Amino acid sequence: MEGKIFFTHHDIRDGEKRALARLHTHGADDDMVELLMLLNSHDNYYTTSSCSGRIVLLSIPCIGAKRAAEFVGKWHFEVDKAEILAAIAEWRARHRSGYLWLMAQSPVLHVSYADIDCARTLLTLAITAGFKYSGIKSITGERVMVKILSTERMDVPIGREGVMFCGEQYLEFILTIANSLLVRGKTKLLS
């Protein structure tokens, strides 16, 4: 993603500078570029972390310990069984402790505003457009952070300590659903 689109702001504060620098450095997945260009072309708000939706294999040491989780695989597009099986094989070889989860995650954007009325308008628009898990995450003295999140989601534990608890037929079944959720979320984002 080109950095220039993030630097059209007239009055960039320190926090904003850091957020935009992070985006410039790390880029964004391709399905988000157009939307991020639009959002970041405005003067009184900017985006921070965002994702157009993805399918992930996550290794979690114990129930609820998401902070200590490690990605085993991460795809921003539809994925086939062979790719999943290859990633699982790697997990079995290298990460034999903890739980393995297959997840489908919906699009998410964080938008920072200087103005609560604008933030409220975006929140209402987002919920009306089907991003029903959206909300204002924080209101500090100077900024309002809106999280825009849709509902497409699947969180499936599939293995523990190197042992798979489901067969290939079941894996195919949930992978079809994960891909459908991914496409549905991206379609909502881009429509």
Cβ closer to a copy of itself: 41 or 66? 66
Task: Give the integer Cα–Cα distance in Å for 99 and 97.
Answer: 7
Cα 30 from Cα 190, distance rounded (Å):
12
Question: How many Å is the maximal CA-CA distance in the chain?
Answer: 56
63 is a site residue for a copy of itself (CB under 8 A): yes
Quick one: 7 or 165, whose CB is closer to a copy of itself? 165
User: 24, 92, 50, 11: which is closest to 189 by C-alpha?
Assistant: 50
Is residue 191 a contact point for a copy of itself (CB under 8 A)?
Answer: no
Residue with tokens 């100077």: 142
Buried b (16+ CB within 10 A) or exposed e, 10-29: eebeeebeebbeebeeeebb
Q: Which 73-102 residues touch a copy of itself, going by CB under 8 A? A: 99
The residue (of 6 and 75) whose beta carbon lies closer to a copy of itself is 75
Instruction: Give the binding range for a copy of itself (CB under 8 A) out of 3-11, 46-54, 79-87, 168-176.
Output: 168-176
Give me the least distance between CB of 97 and a copy of itself, in Å please.
Answer: 16
Which residue in 27, 61, 135, 162 binds a copy of itself (CB under 8 A)? 135
Helix/strand/coil for 88: helix
Contact residues: a copy of itself, CB under 8 A: 63-64, 66, 99, 116, 120, 123-124, 127, 133-139, 147, 151-157, 160, 165-167, 169-170, 173-174, 177, 180-181, 184
